[in-house]
């Protein structure tokens, strides 16, 4: 590769609302492994000279700074904010976050979990057992919008970094703590892993194996993904208020609460069934007979809302509305299926009609999945392809919407944020720090204005690990 990489110049934060002083950050350039640690990275384009270019935008949160103290999955809080351009500084203990060796696959000695969750962040090491480490952390708070504690609740306070001390350093600071079961309730101190929150919330329901033993099902984790999303949303809302009013705030998110919140239909639906039957009925499309549990295999007997095998795979058919059902039957040359049973106008799944299910199975087996998708587009009938985690990457919709960020730039191939700006480019983020503390000197110099002798003194004293 010829030429030198172009570097993105970072602008200072624009904070100056109602008594809050502007950040006195040095505007500088910084580059690690030819990648700018915050916001844009320098990425090779197809130019004939082979030079690097920054084909990205600053992001929606380009003037926001987050200090993150996290372990394992809850680090996704900062990931979401970094994806949108925030300067996320992950403060690690000496030795670093052991997420680098957790779970699988392991790519070039580093776990996918780390590559994914800590992308776009700067990493510094502070030993918070030492007064100088605590003082440096509070200096970072003075120059930040929010602090994220994504580990056991109270971890920072136990090191002397209380919310009250944060407020003294920065009255507008937002403090978000993310934990397993939250700060209150009988499970607050219960050790746990991510699947615990889904088991608790009724999301990861046990299945029975061939020997009759209960086993963990195959499913997509909810709590550890939803919790950080709620936290990131709360942080953005709190920063907006802090900038408008000069008031900081603190709040918490429990990953167990988030798992339950995402399972709202089942939890709230079955709660509704506790009321009298003349007040709460089943779905009108399926009749108002015996009420069925909400969310527990409630679609297993559906016919017009069901999986079917295509000629080369599987599709999901979703013609529960009468209009879609008619469009489908007439387009496949079987108007009799509609005429014999047009069904209710909305939410009619033709539950239990095995004869119709066999008819539809025969029809869907005659075309490929791609042909059925095109059919659905042309005749206005909802049909979806059914994938696993390998086949989805070959789907044209996935390729059009979620092109991988390449392993050469990010350590492993990563999907982009599902948030896609329509009139500007999203930030293209630096890879996660392979070694904890990769950016310590740069952060202390650029953000806090520490000079080389001061950094050297801190390192000699052991405050930097």
Q: Look at the domain 299-386 and name its fold.
A: formyl-coa transferase, domain 3 (3.30.1540)
Kindly report the length of the chain.
465
Location of each CATH 3.30.1540.10 domain in the chain:
299-386
CA 257 from centre of chain: 16
Spatial CA neighbour of 78 closest among 270, 251, 229, 265: 229
pLDDT of residue 55: 53
Residue 105 CB burial class (10 angstroms; 0-12, 13-18, ≥19): exposed
pTM of the predicted model as reported, rounded to 2 decimal places:
0.83
Q: What one-character-per-residue DSSP string does 326-349 give?
A: HHHHHHTT-HHHHHH----SSS--
pLDDT of residue 42: 37
pLDDT of residue 286: 53
Spatial CA neighbour of 171 closest among 231, 240, 237, 249: 249
Q: Is 96 left (phi over 0), alpha (psi -120 to 50) or beta?
A: left
Contacts of the segment 455-464: beta carbons below 8 A, 24+ positions apart: 458/132, 458/136, 461/130, 461/132, 462/127, 462/130, 463/126, 463/127, 463/130, 463/132, 463/133, 463/136, 464/124, 464/125, 464/126, 464/127, 464/133, 464/437, 464/440
Separation between Cα atoms, residue 244 and residue 265, nearest integer Å: 36
Q: What is the largest CA-CA distance in the chain?
A: 86
Inter-residue contact 151 to 71 (CB < 8 Å)? yes
Location of each CATH 3.40.50.10540 domain in the chain:
43-261+403-461
pLDDT of residue 19: 32
Separation between Cα atoms, residue 399 and residue 384, nearest integer Å: 16
CATH of 43-261+403-461, one of 3.40.50.2000, 3.40.50.10540, 1.50.10.100, 3.20.10.10: 3.40.50.10540
What phi, psi does 11 have (nearest 5°)? Answer: -95, 155
Residue 250 CB burial class (10 angstroms; 0-12, 13-18, ≥19): middle
Half-sphere exposure of residue 46, counting CA atoms within 13 Å on the CB side? 0
User: How far, CA to CA in Å, does 70 sit from each of 53, 74, 98, 253, 288?
Assistant: 32, 7, 11, 14, 49
pLDDT of residue 335: 96
pLDDT of residue 284: 60
pLDDT of residue 49: 35
Inter-residue contact 144 to 67 (CB < 8 Å)? yes
Mean pLDDT by 10 residues, the chain (465 residues): 33 33 33 36 34 62 96 94 96 92 88 92 97 97 97 91 97 97 92 90 88 87 94 97 96 95 90 87 63 72 92 94 95 95 87 93 96 95 91 89 86 87 85 93 96 96 94
In the block, residue with structure tokens 């079955």: 270
């Amino acid at each position: 590769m010829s030429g030198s990489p172009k570097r993105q110049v970072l602008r200072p934060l624009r904070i100056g609302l109602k008594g809050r002083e502007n950040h006195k950050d040095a505007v500088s350039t910084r580059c690690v492994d030819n990648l700018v640690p915050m916001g844009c990275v320098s990425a090779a384009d197809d130019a004939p000279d082979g030079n690097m270019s920054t084909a990205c935008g600053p992001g929606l949160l380009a003037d926001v700074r987050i200090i993150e103290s996290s372990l394992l999955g809850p680090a996704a809080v900062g990931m979401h904010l970094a994806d949108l351009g925030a300067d996320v500084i992950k403060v690690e203990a000496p030795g670093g976050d052991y997420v680098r060796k957790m779970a699988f696959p392991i790519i070039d000695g580093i776990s996918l979990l780390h590559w994914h969750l800590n992308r776009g962040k700067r990493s510094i090491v502070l030993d918070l057992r030492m007064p100088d480490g605590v003082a440096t952390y509070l200096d970072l708070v003075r120059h930040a919008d929010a602090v994220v504690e994504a580990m056991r609740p109270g971890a920072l306070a136990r090191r002397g970094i209380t919310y009250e001390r944060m407020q003294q350093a920065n009255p507008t600071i937002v403090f978000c703590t993310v934990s397993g079961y939250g700060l209150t309730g009988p499970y607050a101190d219960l050790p746990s892993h991510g699947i615990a929150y889904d088991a608790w919330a009724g999301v990861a329901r046990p299945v029975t194996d061939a020997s009759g033993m209960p086993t963990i099902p195959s499913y997509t984790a909810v709590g550890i993904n939803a919790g950080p999303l709620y936290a990131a949303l709360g942080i953005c809302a709190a920063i907006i208020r802090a900038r408008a009013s000069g008031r900081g705030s603190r709040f918490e998110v429990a990953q167990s609460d988030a798992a339950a919140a995402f399972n709202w239909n089942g939890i709230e639906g079955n709660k509704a069934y506790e009321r009298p039957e003349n007040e709460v009925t089943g779905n009108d499309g399926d009749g108002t007979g015996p009420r069925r549990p909400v969310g527990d295999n409630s679609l297993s007997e559906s016919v017009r809302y069901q999986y079917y095998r295509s000629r080369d795979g599987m599709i999901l058919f979703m013609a529960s509305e009468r209009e879609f059902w008619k469009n489908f039957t007439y387009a496949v040359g079987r108007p009799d299926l509609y005429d014999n049973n047009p069904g209710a106008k909305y939410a009619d799944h033709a539950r239990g009609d095995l004869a119709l299910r066999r008819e539809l199975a025969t029809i869907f087996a005659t075309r490929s999945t791609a042909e059925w998708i095109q059919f659905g587009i042309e005749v206005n009938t909802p049909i979806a392809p059914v994938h696993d985690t390998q086949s989805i990457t070959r789907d044209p919709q996935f390729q059009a919407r979620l092109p991988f960020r390449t392993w050469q730039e990010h350590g492993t191939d990563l999907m982009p944020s599902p948030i896609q700006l329509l009139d500007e480019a999203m930030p293209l983020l630096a890879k996660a720090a392979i070694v904890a503390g990769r950016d310590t000197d740069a952060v202390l110099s650029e953000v806090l204005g520490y000079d080389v002798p001061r950094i050297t003194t801190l390192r000699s004293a052991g405050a930097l690990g």
